[in-house]
Amino acid sequence: MSHKATVWAIQQRGLKPATKIVLWFLCDRHNPDFGCFPTQARLADDAEMSISALNEHLAKLEELRLIHRVRVHDPRTHKRQATRYILGFEDGFPQEPTPETGHGFCGTEEEQRADPTPESGDRAISGFSPIPSPDFAQSHLRNPETNLVREPLSKPVKEEEDAQARDADFDRFFAELLSALGFAANATLPAWWQGWPARTHVRRWIDDLGLSQKRIIETATETRADHPNPPDGPKALDRFMERTAQRDAQATIANAKSQKSKRQRKRVDPPRLSDDEKAAFYAKMVNADGFLPVSAINNSIRDLMLVRNLVTPERLRMRGVR
């Protein structure tokens, strides 16, 4: 995170709220030493919007010359790498073309060093490497895997794959939720169940209320008993989800108290002594010369000691036990 970058984002005026949010999260991902390389999946998750909506805001920011996107490809494998975002306050941000030449500083030093194309003498502007693939001279898009030893994935690519896996899992869960609410698999959903706002609202049941996907499906199924028709959007289910979260929390607290009470009873209740152990214990007290309260030995204890010949009647009388 760069404090300078986030302050700069806040100071920008005339942006729509969602566009400014995207700019702020871009700046939040900026590293002063290494630059800004967040994946689209990461940015979309930060800003709580779909990737298509995110791209619209990124295009607007680039049009306003607040950011500049540099699409990078591996020079050897020609595979797409993480996009670099150059922010408007950075030294490497490209300048606007001059009216005399129509050219200006375009991007980073790496971009400037790109080889010129044979037709124009200018460098490639598509973002792809101007050097053809060694295997397919006419194409920059394919490079057959002739080497069986694969290159390790870079960290940004791994993050994007993890984000895609999480999105796929959420898509499966969201489809199960719609089915539990009574929507047909191929039915056209009402507007309030479409797009990222509905999905973001459902995610809050997980993030804010602490409900699992399984509990959300169970609660949605329970609501069908009194409300057979599908609800008008996720907000109609908030009350039910809050009650489920409250019941789960109360059950957890009650279970914790019960376990604590059981542990306390185990510590307080001593093990019961057998008759032999009782007789031996009190006989030791009677045969000793220490103080012996009269009420310490009742008739049942006296009989237990006499039957086992642990004490004599004379000793009992001497100690005041009748």
pTM over 0.75: no
Closest CA to 180 of 247, 239, 225, 243: 225
Closest CA to 67 of 59, 75, 79, 76: 59
Instruction: Provide φ and ψ at 67, rounded to 5°.
Output: -135, 160
Q: Which residue has the tokens 């805001």?
A: 57
| Among the ranges given (54-63, 155-164, 175-184, 237-246), the one the predictor scored with the smallest mean pLDDT | 155-164
Q: How confident is the model at residue 64 (pLDDT cuts 50, 70, 90)?
A: very high
> What is the per-residue pLDDT across 146-176, written as a single tens digit (0 to 9) for each?
444 555 555 566 666 677 778 888 888 998 9
Closest CA to 68 of 46, 56, 53, 83: 83
**Cα gap 297→275, rounded to integer Å:** 14
> What is the per-residue pLDDT across 16-59, written as a single tens digit (0 to 9) for each?
989 999 998 988 888 887 788 888 888 899 889 999 999 999 99
